[in-house]
Amino acid sequence: MRALLGVAGLGGASDAVRLAVLVLASRTPSETGVVRIRTGELGRWLGLSASYVASEVLPVLRRSGVVSVETAAGEYGQDDGLECRVLPLWAAQDVVGHPLALSKKELATLLRLVEAVMAPGWTHRDGRVTPAGLIGTRTGRGAATDRLALLLLVLEARETGRVRQRGGTVDTKRGRAAATVARLLGCTASAGERVLERLEERELVLRVRVRTGSGLASRSRLMVPAVANAHGRTVADGVREDCAEAPGLGFSDPDVAAGAGELSELETEPQVSRVPVTDVAGVAEPDVAAVLHTDHPHLAMAVVPPQLSGGFSGEGRPGTGRLPDRACVRGDQAIDGETAAATTGLPVAGSGPLRGEKPKDSPVDEQVGQHAAVAGAGGRSRAVGGGKVQQRRVGLPADLRLRVALGPVSWLWERLSGWQQDQVEAATRTELARLEGLLALPGGAPRLLADRLTARLRETGGEALVTGPYGWLIRRGLVQRPSCSDWRCDDGIRLDTGTGCENCANVVHVRRAHRARIGADIDRELPGLGDHERQRVLEERLREQVAIEAEDLARRHEQAVVEQARRDAARAVAREREKRERQGAAAAEAARQALPCEDCGLLEAAGLCPACTSRRSGDSMVREAVALAVAVRADLTDPAAVEEMIQRCDEDTRALLAAVCERACGQDAEPALLAYTAPQLAQRICDERRQSALCRLARSEEVVAEADAVYAAYRRRHRHGSEADAERAAEEAALRTAQVLLSRHLEELDAARCRAGAA
């Protein structure tokens, strides 16, 4: 991959072009090196449209000199069928030790890797469905960049899923992980951070980190869960191995230990095969953090199992082993009444197992087979088997875009339950994605949604007047309220520009003009009315006009419904007719295939077997060769002489064909081989006869006179032209004249044979 991306022709190329080179290289057959693919299919691999690939990707590939592209025009003249060859990959096939000198097995492995990462997915004719790759469903703006970044991260990842990050000094605002992605893509750190955020939203990469008790964030690890999953590992295993390999790591003081509740959330989600991938959302970096321990809510798995003594995890306290009483004692127990704490704090010791040990009979183990309970980000445990209430998050989600968008309603967020917070978060992500498609510049959707929520709160009168936070957010705060038919309008404001909606202004202008016109009609028809009476008449006429417009709208709606039904019925009839035509064509084709051969009688030969087809083709070529020879040599006015020459020439031609076939196939050749070889040799004989006839006619008086006339005309018209150009024009004219004469002779020969047959 580095050798391909480092080719000089790709310098400054877009990520879509570079990804196209990698995709074509992975699909390159080792025998020919030519990749045959359609433009639309290549666009599906890149996550882009066929028009974008044809207009932006293919021209750059041609100019780069890295890929040779030959196209076949589609229905509208566009580049449809492509024959591409990755020139550096093809040139390195015979170079020993070259990184691009890949064998057939290596090319197959590369294709499997690219398919696992970004295959678009297919539906086969037999109904089978090949699912898309990890990021195969990512399309649109930035899709090629995200796919290229994930592919490079997968190649950089170890078996544990960990990606070696960029060393040296990096931008602390962006982070080392963003700098690593930027280095792989060759872009800025800010662009790398945006790519990394999009991959994190799809849970394709993880930045594993932890906040210590002092509030400081340790250095992070960049992990690719799919790689660890493919090797039968988990992200937690990789972090555990890093902790074991890191020198000088012991237990630290409480000030640098992990905070409560930050390691208790592990999400299990299969990405490759069926091995669960553990989403470790809060694991410290092994080389800087001590072995961590924290509380253990349901189904939480300790990253590093501690086994020490002296008051640490895994050892009971002296005496009864219970926690000292405090103001909120037992206040954080689970809702179902169990002794385990729901959020933070240690479980009561008593007769139960010690921390770090597994209880003999755990109700959680009984429920794992039914519903796997997973923990989400932000210190919230999800329900186990549907029998427990989810714990809500106190703060906003960790995603910066969501924090900006939901900032004005943070107090309402705290009043939501865990399930409601999940629904609001999903609705917010959907609305942000929709708003991003409306904006000309990306990145402004969170701020735009925050302004909308602020305006909605101002209409309500503040958060204190919102009695139902969940319903208010889902039905009023997050939804767009267009004031006109423009899909970019929200309460009379254009979402893409932030200015007033022109369409709304136009509607208001039309309504005011309509009102003014009705007022003028009233003044003209009923002069002298008082203000109160005039206002009453105006309102009545406005209501009448609105009723008329409503009736007209209903009528047009009914007409549209009828028209739509008519079109649907016509389409159904067309589909039925097309189905019948296909069935009829299939039946006719089946009947034709069942016909015997007309010449040899072979059953189910579709009317003519291959051997007889070859024989007929050879006979046709022989007759054409005989006609070409007789047309320029015989006296076409004498039918008897024509027939005699045709018979003699036919015998000579067939004897010549038999001799040539015997030399080409051998004396003991099988009849089938001779049958397939004879048409090809007869075609060669026919071509030679045609060339000989044209040369014979080129020496005739008519052709010579035409050539001389063209030569003289060219010299007169192009006084400063060269002699060679004039001779070339004369030769072309002579060839055209000879072809016309040959066609005329063949027509006269056919007429002579018809007269002889009639006689």
Asked if residue 345 has pLDDT above 80, the reply is no
Question: Which DSSP letter does residue 282 get?
Answer: S
Least confident of 35-49, 231-245, 353-367: 353-367
pLDDT recorded at residue 359: 44
- Express as a percent the part of the chain with pLDDT over 90: 15
559 CB contacts (<8 Å, ≥6 apart)? Answer: none
- Give residues with Cβ within 8 angstroms of 224, minimum separation 6: 150, 153, 154, 157, 161, 163, 204, 205, 206
C-alpha pair distances (Å), 666 with each of 651, 658, 659:
22, 11, 10
Average pLDDT of the residues in 305-320: 38
CA distance 505 to 498: 14
Task: For residues 430 and 422, give the distance between their C-alpha atoms in angstroms, rounded to a whole number.
Answer: 12
> What's the chain's average pLDDT?
76
Contact 665, 673 (CB under 8 A): yes
Kindly report, residue by residue over 471-512, the tens digit of the pLDDT.
999 998 999 988 887 778 888 888 877 788 888 888 888 888
- pLDDT at 258 (0 to 100): 36
Average pLDDT of the residues in 144-157: 91
pLDDT at 137: 87
Q: Looking at per-residue confidence, does 454 or 344 come out higher?
A: 454
Q: Mean pLDDT, to the nearest integer, of 331-356?
A: 37
**Range picked from 212-226, 577-591, 738-752 for highest mean pLDDT:** 577-591
Q: Give mean pLDDT, residues 13-31.
A: 88
pLDDT at residue 583 in the model: 94
Check pLDDT > 80 for residue 392.
no
Token digits of residue 136? 């195969």
Q: What are phi and psi of 17, to 5 degrees?
A: -65, -45
Q: Which is more confidently placed, 676 or 530?
A: 530
Question: Is residue 243 very low, low, confident or very high in pLDDT (cuts 50, 70, 90)?
Answer: low
Amino acid at 203: E
* Residue 547 buriedness (CB in 10 A; 0-12 / 13-18 / 19+): exposed
Other C-beta atoms closer than 10 Å to the C-beta of 311 total 9
Residue with tokens 């390691």: 263
**pLDDT tens sequence across 542-584:** 999 889 989 998 999 999 999 999 999 999 999 999 999 999 9
Question: What is the Cα–Cα distance from 614 to 678, expressed in whole angstroms?
Answer: 8
Q: Among all chains, which residue has been given the structure tokens 């007759």?
A: 623
Strands 79-86 and 129-130: unpaired
pLDDT score of 210:
52
**Are 99 and 87 a contacting pair, CB within 8 Å?**
no
pLDDT at residue 733 greater than cutoff 50 = yes
Identify the weakest region by mean pLDDT among 79-83, 113-117, 394-398, 720-724: 79-83
Give the other-Cβ count within 10 Å of 162's Cβ. 23
Average pLDDT over residues 344-371: 39
DSSP-assigned letter for residue 16: H
Q: Give the C-alpha separation, 713 to 735, whole Å.
A: 17
Three-state DSSP at 393 gives coil
What's the token pair of residue 30?
């080792």
The structure's pTM equals 0.37
**Three-state SS across 163-198?**
ECCCCCCCCCCCCHHHHHHHHHHCCCHHHHHHHHHH
pLDDT band at 426 (very low <50, low <70, confident <90, very high): very high
pLDDT tops 50 at residue 351: no
pLDDT in tens, 259-270: 333 333 334 344
The mean pLDDT of 368-387, rounded to a whole number, is: 39
Of 147, 109, 116, give the one whose Cα is nearest residue 19.
147
The pair of structure tokens assigned to 448 is: 């735009």
The full length of the chain comes to 759
On the 0-12 / 13-18 / 19+ scale of CB atoms within 10 A, 12 is exposed
Q: Residue 96 is encoded by which pair of tokens?
A: 């020993």
**For residue 609, what pLDDT band results from cuts at 50, 70 and 90?**
confident
Which amino acid belongs to residue 425? E
User: Binning pLDDT at 50, 70 and 90, where does residue 256 land?
Assistant: very low
One-letter amino acid for residue 268 of the chain = T
Residue spans of the domains in the chain: they are: 2-124+132-145, 157-306+373-391, 400-479, 610-758
Closest alpha carbon to 332 in 320, 346, 322: 346
DSSP string, 599-663: TT--TTSTTS-HHHHHHHHHHHHHHHHHHHHHHTTS-TT-HHHHHHHHHHHHHHHHHHHHHHHHH
Residue 29 has pLDDT above 90, yes or no: no
* Angle in degrees, CA 560, 563, 569, rounded to 5: 140
| Range from 219-223, 407-411, 656-660, 688-692 carrying the lowest mean pLDDT | 219-223
pLDDT attached to residue 574: 95
pLDDT at position 211, please?
54
Amino acid 723: pLDDT: 85
The Cα 342–Cα 344 span in angstroms is: 7
Residue with tokens 């974008």: 52
Whether 105 shows a pLDDT value over 70: the answer reads yes
Closest CA to 293 of 330, 341, 256, 242: 256
Which amino acid is present at 60?
V
Encode pLDDT of 613-643 as tens digits. 888 888 888 889 988 888 888 788 887 888 8
- pLDDT tens readout for residues 692-726: 989 988 888 888 999 999 989 988 888 877 888 88
The better pLDDT of the pair 753, 241 is held by: 753
Radius of gyration of the chain (CA): 41
Q: Are 348 and 322 in contact (CB under 8 A)?
A: yes
Angstrom CA distances, 225 to 138, 144, 238, 303, stand at 18, 21, 10, 15
